[in-house]
Amino acid sequence: MGNISIVKIADVAKYRKDFITIDNHKDYKRCRVQLHKRGVLLRDIVKGNYIKTKKQRVCKKDDFIFAEMDAKFGGYGIIPKELEGAVVSSHYYLFELDRSKVLPDYLSVLIDTDVIQSQIKAKGSTNYSRVSPSEVLEFEIPCPHIEEQKRVISFYLNAKNTLLQLNEENSFQQKYFSQLRQSILQDAIEGKLTVAWRKKNPVKKGDPETDAAALLEKIKKEKQKLIAEGKIKKDKPLASIKPEEVPFKLPPGWLWTRLGEVSSHNSGKTLDALRNKGDSVKYITTSNLYWGYFVLDELREMPIKKEEMDRCTANKGDLLICEGGEAGRAAVWMEEYNICFQNHIHRVRPYCKINSFYLFRYFEKLNYSGEINKYRKGMGISNLSGKSLSSIRIPLPSLAEQGAIVERVDELLRIVDELEKEAAARKTLSESLMQAVLREAFEGEGEMCKGT
């Protein structure tokens, strides 16, 4: 592109200071300048009597508009033709471009770079930092002759169209991956992923390893024993599952049950209820619990009352579930040490070595499909209560098949994870490509453009 002059905004544009007085009986278009350099849109069309500040500025097509307070967040852009005649308050600056020196589309390309943003240094308090018109006029831009500007615009638009196509493809792929995950999890809980496994491992009546009915009987006996030993309390009977509640037919050897039938449940307590003098222990809050994993390096410590330790402690293999926010967000605690957990977290401890990861994948499926919302209760912000959690309907396979399902799901989701990583890498690459395109477009224009 050769040697190109670096000019000030003042050399290619003038600040328009004129105002009009709003007529209460007329309709006016108002602008909305989006942050992060995302352009200028129509805010609304209102009668003049709705506009409190009667002194307003009038926008012209291709004006360079700058937001006094939001410029530091990328609040500036070019007025599109559909906003010709729109009004803005004095908190917006309008600069009329000299089209013999700079094209509006060329300035739009510069806006997409960091050439202007890097020069914005808002002054004032945190809540009222602003940029003045005189500062905007001092900003410097590379300004080639008009024909060269047209070449830059064409080069940029062609590259941007290509990038948009790549981004659309990436968005489509992300939706596809989400649907693929849902499909895998749905097939898992319907027994479709383990058809071949069942052929090799037919149901043996009375064997919990291959017969869910036998497993459920074993669980009932274990619960009775624990109740007799005083280790758990006798729960109220859960409602039986009615035929109209059953969403699909189960394979041989499976049956429908409720979460409360196959696991014990405990909720954590508030910090005030747990806090006591003594040795400090680590504990989990909802902010540490994400889908499938825990943020261990952010765990906090607090002295816990000894009498609450068992009630509010997770052992290896326990399933922990959030009650609020993204209710149903779950992870299996698999560390070798025990951990305390705060209120707003449910601990689900399966009986008879039921596979916690099978339950985890089931909750993942409930969240993907939105079915978990059926169990959320409360006005406004709904939560997943212990009672609702216990009532969740579950398709129960035998112990051995649970393990086979988890293994197969893990295998398939690892493949999806890899595909998602590849797609994410392509998205990052396409964004880097856009920056490379901008550098190419302004190659040789001086040090200012090398930071794009």
pLDDT in tens, 136-164: 999 999 999 999 899 888 888 887 887 77
Within a domain: residue 186? no
Of 448 and 111, which is predicted with more confidence? 111
Confidence band for 377, pLDDT divided at 50, 70 and 90 = confident
Q: Is residue 198 in a domain? A: no
Amino acid letter, 222:
E
Question: What confidence category does residue 130 fall into, taking pLDDT thresholds of 50, 70 and 90?
Answer: confident
What dihedral angle (degrees, nearest 10) is formed by the CA atoms of 320, 325, 327, 331? -30
Averaged over 291-297, what is the pLDDT? 87
DSSP state of 312: T
For residue 196, tell me if it sits in a domain: no
Q: Which of 58, 2, 24 is nearest to 443 (CA)?
A: 2
User: For residues 334 and 314, what is the distance between their CA atoms, to the nearest angstrom?
Assistant: 10
Residue-level pLDDT at 113: 83
CA distance 22 to 136: 27
Position 231 confidence tier, pLDDT thresholds 50, 70, 90: confident
pLDDT digits over 382-398, tens only?
A: 788 888 999 999 999 99
Does residue 420 fall inside a structural domain? yes
- Category of 48 on φ-ψ map: left (φ > 0), alpha (ψ -120 to 50) or beta: alpha
**Is 104 inside any structural domain?**
yes
Is the pLDDT score of 452 beyond 60?
Answer: no
* pLDDT band of 449, cuts 50, 70, 90: very low
- Reported as a pLDDT band with limits 50, 70 and 90, residue 447 is very low
pLDDT tier at 279 (50, 70, 90 boundaries)? low
Tell me the pLDDT band of 1, cut-offs 50, 70 and 90.
very low
CATH number at 350 reads 3.90.220.20
Whether residue 49 is predicted with pLDDT greater than 70 in this model: the reply is: yes
82-86 long-range contacts (CB < 8 A, ≥24 apart) are 82/42, 83/29, 83/31, 83/40, 83/42, 83/59, 84/59, 84/60, 85/29, 85/58, 85/59, 85/60, 86/28, 86/29, 86/30, 86/31, 86/42, 86/58, 86/59
**Residue 111 clears pLDDT 60, i.e. is over it:** yes
What total number of domains does the chain contain? 3
240 and 381 together in one domain: yes
Whether 265 maps to a domain, the answer reads yes
Mean pLDDT for all residues in the chain: 86
Whether 261 and 159 map to the same domain: the answer is no
pLDDT of 356 above 50: yes
What's residue 139's pLDDT? 95
Are residues 440 and 361 located together in one domain of the fold? no
Domain match, 97 and 50 both: yes
How far out from the chain centre does Cα 254 lie?
Answer: 36
pLDDT of 125: 61
Q: Is the pLDDT of residue 97 over 80?
A: yes
User: What gap in Å lies between CA 321 and CA 289, rounded to an integer?
Assistant: 8
Name the DSSP letter for residue 102.
-
Residues 372 and 270 in one domain: yes
Residue 411 and residue 385 in one domain: no
When pLDDT is cut at 50, 70 and 90, the band that residue 425 belongs to is confident
For residue 290, give the H/E element and its range: strand 289-290
Domain that holds residue 27: 7-143
Is residue 402's pLDDT more than 90? Answer: yes
Check whether 445 has a pLDDT greater than 50: no
Do 306 and 384 belong together in one domain?
Answer: yes
> What percent of the chain has pLDDT above 70?
88
Residue 2 lies in a domain: no
- In the DSSP assignment, the letter for residue 121 is -
Note whether 238 and 343 are same-domain residues: yes
* 26 compared with 165, residue with greater pLDDT: 26
Neighbours of 73 (CB within 10 A): 15
pLDDT at 450: 37
Residues 212 and 278 in one domain: yes
Residue 127 and residue 111: Cα distance in Å, rounded? 25
Is the pLDDT assigned to residue 33 strictly greater than 60? yes
**Domain contains 251:** yes
Distance in Å from the first CA to the final CA of the chain: 17
Is the pLDDT at 124 greater than 70? The verdict is no
pLDDT beyond 60 at 259: yes
pTM of the predicted model as reported, rounded to 2 decimal places: 0.66
Q: Are residues 128 and 38 in the same domain?
A: yes
Is residue 300 predicted with pLDDT exceeding 90? no
Q: Do 332 and 428 fall into the same domain?
A: no
Statement to judge: residues 127 and 259 lie in one domain: no
What does the pLDDT look like over 160-185, one tens digit per residue? 887 777 777 777 887 888 889 999 99
Q: Which pLDDT score is estimated for 306?
A: 67
Domain boundary among 380, 397, 414: 397
